[in-house]
Structure 1
């Protein structure tokens, strides 16, 4: 029962002197309606609404919930709000410091509270991915017997970090990074509400923009920075928090970058053009500017994947897999660690040999299609897997390439309208030099200019 005593004492202190708690704690939502962001989980009939019994006559469904999302998106807050909405005890443990002993103590306390006082318990376990398999196994009896409502939080993919028996018994909810609009609403609330700063100071527009940039979608980070800046402004006797004050308190220079304006596109364009030009240092500069401006890492990763095909192609066949792997990693880990992955991919792409042959090839083929150069598919290539196909001549006379020497059959593949047109013109750069040697030999074989026993 000790966790309850400590929680009660802390809440009592906060009620007597709210200013004794950090701003991020004071602004913690007390109802689901006060939660910012995560509307996909909060709209009528959504999972969290059902979890607290709204619209269903009472709580129902799984007694275990896993909240997966980047830091500062409200995992702890949601667990706390669920406990308030369902009038349950709220006990919080961190997998960093707690072990099986502490988990069992909480579970035993929950069973006593339920049996003796009829009070159910919400156990919030932060960073569950840090628990070993054996430690996670210790949670199963409590979940299966509903001794506690387990709400576990993780920043890592739960399909890799949470054991299958626990995952299968849990409702998995994915939290999205907070948008600038979400954070802006939270900042305005903190500035004006009595439990926040109570109107003691205002916030300049450029200072607000900088706070939102450095927050990186993290509510706790933006409120912590706001509190520090407000304290500094009040200490100086100023009624407005300026950009200079924010910079002084968070020790971070403002990046002149409007994510919704021209610079968003200008800097992204400069990143790609620097990669295309093989200037690795310039590319890293623009990457850093995008990161520091709070750019969505997934947007950056998408641009890198496009660059890998558009500007490198077959000159380095590993470029696209590298960019795709980076995008997958970024989606799993988020900032700040995602900066390392983006740097890795940017350097690899900038220093790779360059070729736009694949880009030019598809553009040329698309141009012919738009001109009407299409025509029917040659009869011998058409589908022959249905009754009556043979009577139509479909798939008749098709030569199976694996049945001929070199596995290249001399037959027509393109429609008559574009037969003989060459779209792919490989360069002699990097690994594409091999394709340059191969492509003419293959085209010669397809024309029937000569037969060989081995593939070029």
Structure 2
């Protein structure tokens, strides 16, 4: 038996020696110690954790993750050569659960008989299926085996999470060109395992070519070097320092030995996802050169061009969007052309689509859909407003469709009306980008949205629930109570009126790009946001009358870059000097604009004088001021011919008396008076232009009740209380009954007058 054992051992030894001698150069040159190992300094350099663990033979379970030829298996072999532990190696492609059990049995025996640890090296560990990984897990967990796994795939995705959590992950990188040169020179210098005993002369440009094409893979450069040496006939000349004939490896020979660059690319692995990610991010960053490079890498590695087209189609919608609506058409056309043409000519269509997307303006505003989807998913289902509902079935009984305004019947084919559910009014999903086509529509979208918002807030401020009456801040009727707010808006052109007002004020103001602008009585920001657009390199200040208005302006300002946001002050026009001083008392403005900023001011001349002080020399003032004295008379809306006696005349006289009160600063002035007040304050080149406006107003029960309500807390008297100063109770009852009979539920034309005031400060 001993003789037989000895004979078998010698036979195995000779067979192993023969196998080693005939092994490929890459296998023969595999480093045996850390001193021979080249590259990966970030994990095996002096003082590094892995190096210390190997040298101290205190290794715990590890997984080596890196591209082919980076040294994963080599590190495992070095550990096998240096450790006192028993070393078992298996390949996950060939091994099964039985092999794992056999390895575990050996490990248990070694520990029990000799107290020896066992290291189990599993090459291509990601190839283990779930059952195989589960079979290995408990033995790694209890320390029966120390696992060394090697994988080219991301272990966080491809390896059992439990195994990953019990192992330390070391990521190996592709070898640098200097590393590959050192590997090649090491092979040429080693007389036993390499070609040191032969007379090999490798030209520098030949080595450079091998290194370049190997693309970080040591195995690839050694295989190419082996092919070059083994297939090159020795010349007549002797090699230096040896009597052997010279084997001269030129660049041409090297090129024949390694003709195609090795590209790391696995269609189902990390390289696939990393490369397509780099491609998309290069497109998003408008780097055409990088995008072409990453796409070329995918095509070179054999990626399906249809996959690349699919990703570009997604990109056209996600990252270009409305900044260039033609982008989607171009990519679709290129994809269809590719289907007709195929490879290799179809590469032109790939390149065309790639370059178009890379150079196109970018916008991700389409993500607005997902914001809307999040609202739908997270909030209670909102019902469509009645005027948007289908009117073909139950319009008469339910009022569905009633009040809908057909946009094509209005100027510019647009009219302000409610489209969102009532609970979502004011909610913004879509934010147009600032590039390309979207830049052209951005201001239009913003202006229409602001006009709608302004119309909505006009009505809210006029609602009884707000504590103010429907005569509004300037005591002219501005809208219906909140309960009928959006029904009213669908029947009015308030949003359109506000848009016209804004454009007229801006035309008078002549704001320039560098202007510093002050918006008086900013309210909902109708003028503020337009000023921000027109003075991008200047600045805008906004005076909000209430904290609520200021907060709303600040919330809207968050959509702008920090540098573009207006300075928001809170207070009355009379407080302006103190408010400006809190920021910078020396501030003076090029332009001051405002809407209904003078209404509640008893001394309007003093206000003009105060504003003059805040204008720079040559500065301009442009105000839009509703004239309360010229507002719609309610009596004029009715047919009063059936009223008894002189009640019709009494009613008319009583209502006109409201606007003839010389002691009421709200109504004791006309548009022309504003010109005299401005001139008296020192403004020059003052002009006043009046514009008559008409709104469609629906007379609702809530509005009627408000007209005839009792004012509370000493507030401004209601319409009924004003009439009561001139008429008795019976007459008032008759008037109310007539209004209810003729107007309730009807839509009437409500007239108003707006005065546009322009003036300036002369040069000092």
TM-score under structure 2 length normalisation? 0.37
1:20 aligns with 2:29: no
| Match in the other structure for 1:83 | 80
Q: Distance in 2 between matches of 1:134 and 1:229?
A: 44
Map of 2:94 onto structure 1: 97
5 Å-filtered alignment, 1:279-290, equals 283=292, 287=296
1:245 equivalent among 228, 239, 253: 253
Question: Given the superposition, is the C-alpha separation of residues 355 and 225 from structure 1 closer, same or farther in structure 2, using an over 3 Å criterion?
Answer: same
Unaligned 5+ segments in structure 1 are 1-5, 255-271, 293-303, 323-341, 359-401, 410-421, 428-434
- Cross-structure match for 2:201: 202
Q: Tell me: CA distance 1:343–1:316, structure 2 relative to 1, closer, same or farther (3 Å).
A: farther
Residue number in structure 1 paired with 2:434:
424
CA distance in 2, matches of 1:149, 1:447: 68
- Residue of structure 1 aligned with 2:35, choices 26, 33, 36: 33
Distance in 2 between the 1:423 and 1:129 partners?
A: 45
* Residues 139-166 of structure 1: per-residue CA shift (max 9 Å, x gap): 1232123222210111111111111211
Unaligned residue ranges in structure 2 (runs of 5+): 1-7, 236-244, 263-281, 302-311, 332-346, 364-421, 457-485, 487-764
Tell me how large the CA RMSD over aligned residues is.
4.7
Deviation of 1:346 (Å): 6.4
Could you say what secondary structure the match of 1:30 adopts? coil
User: Any idea what SS the aligned residue of 1:239 has?
Assistant: strand
User: Is the CA contact 1:66–1:173 (under 8 Å) kept in the aligned structure 2?
Assistant: yes
Query: Which residue in the other structure is 1:297 paired with?
Result: none
Larger of the two Rg values belongs to structure:
2
Distance change (3 Å), C-alpha of 1:252 and 1:71: closer
Determine which of 440, 445, 449 is the counterpart of 2:443.
440
- 2-structure distance, mates of 1:423, 1:59: 58
Distance 1:344 1:214, change over 3 A: farther
The structure with the largest strand share of the pair is: 2
Choose which of 101, 119, 122 in structure 2 pairs with 1:122: 119
Report whether the alignment pairs 1:180 with 2:177. Answer: yes
Q: Deviations over 1:287-336 (max 9, x none)?
A: 369979xxxxxxxxxxx9xx99xx968437999xx9xxxxxxxxxxxxxx
Report 1 or 2 for greater relative contact order, CA contacts < 8 Å, sequence distance ≥ 6: 1
**In structure 2, C-alpha distance between the alignment counterparts of 1:122 and 1:343, rounded to whole Å:** 53
Question: Alignment partner of 2:226: what SS?
Answer: helix
- Per the alignment, do residues 15 and 48 of structure 1 end up closer, same or farther by CA in structure 2, a change over 3 Å counting? farther
In structure 2, distance between residues paired with 1:59 and 1:245: 46
* Residue 355 of structure 1 pairs with residue 363 of structure 2: no
- What is the Cα deviation at residue 113 of structure 1? 3.4
Measure, in 2, the Cα distance between the counterparts of 1:91 and 1:141.
17
Task: Tell me, in whole angstroms, the C-alpha distance in 1 between the residues paired with 2:148 and 2:295.
Answer: 40
- Are 1:95 and 1:125, in contact at CA under 8 Å, matched by a contact in 2? yes
- Equivalent residue of 1:138, what SS? helix
The total of aligned residue pairs comes to 328
After superposition, what is the alpha-carbon deviation per residue over 1:388-440, rounded to whole angstroms, capped at 9, x for unaligned?
A: xxxxxxxxxxxxxx99944469xxxxxxxxxxxx993423xxxxxxx246402
- Which aligned pairs between 1:3-402 and structure 2 lie closer than 5 A? 13=15, 15=17, 19-54=21-56, 59=58, 62=60, 64-194=61-191, 195-198=193-196, 200=198, 201-234=200-233, 239-252=247-260, 283=292, 287=296, 314-315=323-324, 349-350=354-355, 352=357, 354-356=359-361
Take 1:145 and 1:7, find their aligned partners in 2: how far apart are those partners? Answer: 34
Mapped to 2, the partners of 1:31 and 1:148 lie a distance apart of 23
Is the 1:65–1:151 Cα contact (8 Å) retained in structure 2? Answer: yes
Per-residue deviation, 1:109: 2.2
CA distance in 1, matches of 2:348, 2:55: 46
* Cα shift at 1:34: 1.7
> Do the aligned residues in 1 keep the contact of 2:126 with 2:158 (CA within 8 Å)?
yes
